[in-house]
A and B are shown apart, each in its own frame.
Chain A
């Protein structure tokens, strides 16, 4: 160890052995970082991660081996580091950093916090905790060959939330339920279906035809006369999808016929939808098994995952996976729920099969399991080399921060290949705080446009305060002179308000809400603007916030766009322990890939075609190649960076 003191000043070297640092995340960057920290001479390290080890981690998270699969990351990482460096004092937590136990006091134990995270919710939270505790934070992220490291210091630099991040892209309910036009719509539908059938039911994840689709402007009474197929469906709709499935004993054939035949025939009765679109073609279980499909055998010679099966193949896969999931459900006992995980083979098989069958119904070219997994799992490619580079840079920024050389700290972007000025690394001066940042400004304030007659308190809490503004447990008081408490984070105090509309509490245009998050030591003043003119399926709009539009593609620094690295969905994307909705949030990487601007077009009016591959002539190799060339080209919908 002594040798490493070489390039470091003696005082700094001494301070390393006495200071305490926190590493948030023990994944790709975290493993490399822990190694670098002990080798540099850091002695007191705490590491926290809520995730467990998966096989797909082993190509880069070198502190884990095959025998560790399924175990908690943080403790295993600690053991592996101690093997090589027995003198280090490491504390490992298998927990979420958003747990209230890790309060401001906890953060004040450290001289420095280093993020090695993979999701935006946790990054937002750690950012606020470090601001509240006034502890320097080093933030980092990687995606494929790209990476970024930056330093955040209260009052001196931009905080993680100073620049608006692209808001996550979600799809309007009726696109998912009625009029999918792209494979991603079918994949989202299939994931919803999984939860509706086997997981936690969520009213926002309906999969059956949406009769309230304003575009259909459809009068059920009129159409009922014409519809021959819809008489039965009327009944089905009144019970939940899960109850109905249960009543059939999860019969795969009945499920198949309901989803891909009856529901589709019902959709066909909403004839306005199909005036400008190609109408869907229902599939019938018996019929497809009698048809001769010449191209039925799997095409493509590559890995099994990359083959595109035919309709029959996917019907069989659907059948098999429903049976497997059914028995998993039975095994777990009464009232059990399954959680969708991209790395769980039967769950992934189910989504692959259901999504592809729906793609077929809506005349899209089907996709391989590999591609579906990319899109369904928000998978960001990840490799050892980039993480190693970034973890090395983090330590250098850490040393400068601890050595009071704060003016020397930089934001550093790692490019895929040297830029025109032959720089692989692009260091940039740290920007000062954004005075109108809704997080780190001295009196944070935002303006939100919504319809006070249509927005319920629950939506304000979940979608606006928690999801959009990243709070964990908000308290809301109306500035009406009386200090009416709208939401309390104490259990049992304001639940009765949840389903009431904001207008029920006298909230109107110009009302102001004071929102506090005690854990984050954060107060936000929310100005409300009442609006009746929000776009369809938009519940609220933050004034001054960039909408889901792609900024101009010509961004000066190449690395800047990828900024915050790995699967930056707004929710933690780690596996099964995360919230059920975790993987459902789809974010468009608009600035990286101009072609993803297709996503802006209102989906119900455009009938765009994705690049088609997997048709009979395409071979797996060339398909994969295209994917390599521009991951975002094929996977544009899933790259969740900002």
Chain B
């Protein structure tokens, strides 16, 4: 079977998703190696949702043996696997879903691995930890934080879903913003655009030509004439010009988010270790500060409009050519930068730079707080917690309950409500945990007893959480779309969800 055959069959299999994230997004997925800790029902569901779209490889880390309970709630384990190692059994069944994915497993608990070989985790593009005890979470969180590996913590508890993203810095070139404004430079036309506008003489045009003139030209001409108070023509393209004038005339400037990126320390101090995002950001910054005269590279696209093909294409080419030219200048800056610390210029491709320039106005850097910061008495986000808790049914209460449940686990080595005969007793014990947590962090908030009762019920898998977790994983792997920052809570009882910055 030839390579091209293989490529075509992949193209067919992934057709419906290529339409969302493109082949470079798919390439990102195919180069990714994801680690799942604990092949619980939620864990395997998440992995299923990553294996189907075709991640490159996965490794399951799990020291547990398959129990009867696992088989009951986990679609990827069968009764014949009872007693086997859970990592292995799940790997075998998940592997069946997609032969293009390489599945691996390690029959070891994450704590053991952290004891013996913490660097084991450095190799992954993303680590997903499911139903991890608090202590493991904090330990692993700090190892991955230092190694710069994104860590997605997921848990389901009763009908509650929880996700926490922990990544020091996550860069996004293609943030896919909704309702982005066009980059037309009508307020500050570049030379080539000026010439192109001048080539039109609306007054001496024939009716047919006149009515097929792109509205961008119409607006530009109108702007040229000082004190113009003539009435616009009754032509469709003029109507279109009037409709679009407000969004078309946005002042050309560097958006503040992009400005922040330029001013970031990582952009300032480029080293041979700097990721290509920052090298390119530096290149664009150099462009803005020199050739660009304070403006970003031209994006090079224009919207649909009434016009004949010829006029439209000519106008489009004016913008496109300028965008190419600007990108070429940025390329030069990037090249110089790479050479200055002895890297070959081709280590960042022309194509990457073009993509970066085109998205220069939409760049995003997501910085999450570390788990250590979230847990420390000095740095925890008291304001967010107390202000949310002003309304007693905020999803924030679920967060506090989960923290209390962890406390319960620490003290009793089990979760509350596991045994029916202990429910009443557990409610009181859990209440103590809630109070001590609030006290320790000097949180003056009220947690309703209802929630404490609710949390003395059993854990349950949710396909919802698995779907959302996998979706966030894909965002992180492909570096497209902006992931949530940093805590996501879902309440299946009320069908509500919320994100918090903790």
Known interface pairs A84-B78, A418-B499; A7-B158 also in contact (CB < 8 Å): yes
Q: A612 CA to B69 CA in the complex, in Å?
A: 57
- Choose among A83, A425, A611, A615 the residue that contacts B496 (Cβ–Cβ < 8 A): A425
Instruction: Produce 1/0 per residue, A347-390, CB < 8 A to B.
Output: 00000000000000001110000100110000111111111111
Instruction: Flag whether B453 is at the interface (Cβ < 8 A).
Output: no
Known interface pairs A379-B19, A628-B174; A62-B313 also in contact (CB < 8 Å): no
Those of A230-276 within 8 Å (CB) of chain B: 275-276
A621 surroundings in chain B (CB, below 8 A): 22-24, 351, 355
Chain B nearest CB, measured from A342 CB (Å) = 9
Instruction: Produce 1/0 per residue, A612-626, CB < 8 A to B.
Output: 100101111110111
Q: A123 CA to B161 CA in the complex, in Å?
A: 31
Those of B1-37 within 8 Å (CB) of chain A: 4, 7-9, 11-25
B75 touches A39 (CB 8 A): yes
The interface-forming segment of A99-107, A521-529, A602-610 is: A602-610
Known interface pairs A302-B23, A609-B305, A610-B304; A381-B17 also in contact (CB < 8 Å): yes
Instruction: Flag whether B205 is at the interface (Cβ < 8 A).
Output: no
Residue from B158, B208, B497, B499 having most chain A Cβ neighbours under 10 A: B497
A58 touches B73 (CB 8 A): no
A417 surroundings in chain B (CB, below 8 A): 481-482, 484
Instruction: Flag whether B429 is at the interface (Cβ < 8 A).
Output: no
A612 touches B312 (CB 8 A): yes
B20 surroundings in chain A (CB, below 8 A): 144-145, 381, 383, 628, 631
Known interface pairs A35-B75, A62-B97; A611-B494 also in contact (CB < 8 Å): no
Known interface pairs A1-B73, A59-B17, A396-B492; A389-B303 also in contact (CB < 8 Å): no
Q: A604 CA to B48 CA in the complex, in Å?
A: 49
A389 touches B176 (CB 8 A): no
Those of B134-175 within 8 Å (CB) of chain A: 158-159, 174
Known interface pairs A83-B78, A381-B19, A628-B174; A59-B14 also in contact (CB < 8 Å): yes
A56 surroundings in chain B (CB, below 8 A): 12-16
In this complex, how many residues of chain B approach chain A with their Cβ under 8 Å: the count is 93
B488 touches A392 (CB 8 A): no
Instruction: Flag whether B466 is at the interface (Cβ < 8 A).
Output: yes
A424 touches B19 (CB 8 A): no
- Choose among B309, B458, B471, B492 the residue that contacts A278 (Cβ–Cβ < 8 A): B309
- Choose among B304, B324, B464 the residue that contacts A608 (Cβ–Cβ < 8 A): B304
- Choose among B16, B211, B355 the residue that contacts A379 (Cβ–Cβ < 8 A): B16
A631 touches B19 (CB 8 A): yes
Chain B nearest CB, measured from A634 CB (Å) = 9
Known interface pairs A1-B72, A4-B72; A55-B495 also in contact (CB < 8 Å): no
Those of A1-21 within 8 Å (CB) of chain B: 1-4, 6-7
A2 surroundings in chain B (CB, below 8 A): 69, 72
B8 touches A55 (CB 8 A): no
A418 surroundings in chain B (CB, below 8 A): 484, 499
Instruction: Flag whether B468 is at the interface (Cβ < 8 A).
Output: yes
The interface-forming segment of B49-57, B218-226, B277-285, B443-451 is: B49-57
B301 surroundings in chain A (CB, below 8 A): 611, 626
B463 touches A388 (CB 8 A): yes
A625 surroundings in chain B (CB, below 8 A): 22, 24, 174, 355, 358
A607 touches B17 (CB 8 A): no
Category for how many chain A residues contact B:
35 or more
B464 surroundings in chain A (CB, below 8 A): 388-389, 392-393, 396
B72 touches A303 (CB 8 A): no
Instruction: Flag whether B249 is at the interface (Cβ < 8 A).
Output: no
- Choose among B76, B208, B467 the residue that contacts A392 (Cβ–Cβ < 8 A): B467
A60 surroundings in chain B (CB, below 8 A): 16-17, 52-53
B23 surroundings in chain A (CB, below 8 A): 302-303, 306, 620-621, 624
B73 touches A4 (CB 8 A): yes
A423 surroundings in chain B (CB, below 8 A): 496-498
Those of A174-232 within 8 Å (CB) of chain B: none
Instruction: Flag whether A305 is at the interface (Cβ < 8 A).
Output: yes
B159 touches A381 (CB 8 A): no
A374 surroundings in chain B (CB, below 8 A): 19
Known interface pairs A39-B461, A384-B49; A622-B467 also in contact (CB < 8 Å): no
Instruction: Flag whether B99 is at the interface (Cβ < 8 A).
Output: yes
Instruction: Flag whether A488 is at the interface (Cβ < 8 A).
Output: no
B48 touches A598 (CB 8 A): no
A302 surroundings in chain B (CB, below 8 A): 23
B9 touches A59 (CB 8 A): no
A630 surroundings in chain B (CB, below 8 A): 176
Known interface pairs A383-B53, A424-B468, A628-B480; A6-B459 also in contact (CB < 8 Å): yes
Those of A25-64 within 8 Å (CB) of chain B: 32, 35-36, 38-39, 55-56, 58-60, 62
Instruction: Flag whether B316 is at the interface (Cβ < 8 A).
Output: yes
- Choose among A343, A391, A610, A628 the residue that contacts B12 (Cβ–Cβ < 8 A): A343
B22 touches A388 (CB 8 A): no
- Choose among B16, B41, B496 the residue that contacts A427 (Cβ–Cβ < 8 A): B496
B313 surroundings in chain A (CB, below 8 A): 365, 609, 612, 615
Chain B nearest CB, measured from A78 CB (Å) = 14
Instruction: Flag whether A595 is at the interface (Cβ < 8 A).
Output: yes
B458 touches A55 (CB 8 A): no
User: Which chain A residue lies CB-closest to B302?
Assistant: A611
A412 surroundings in chain B (CB, below 8 A): 495
Q: What are 11 A-B residue pairs whose CB atoms fall within 8 Å in the complex? A: A60-B17, A381-B20, A383-B16, A385-B470, A385-B474, A387-B467, A392-B467, A620-B23, A621-B24, A624-B23, A630-B176
Q: Top 10 A-B pairs ranked by shortest CB distance?
A: A6-B458, A388-B467, A392-B463, A389-B467, A392-B464, A624-B22, A385-B471, A381-B19, A1-B72, A609-B312
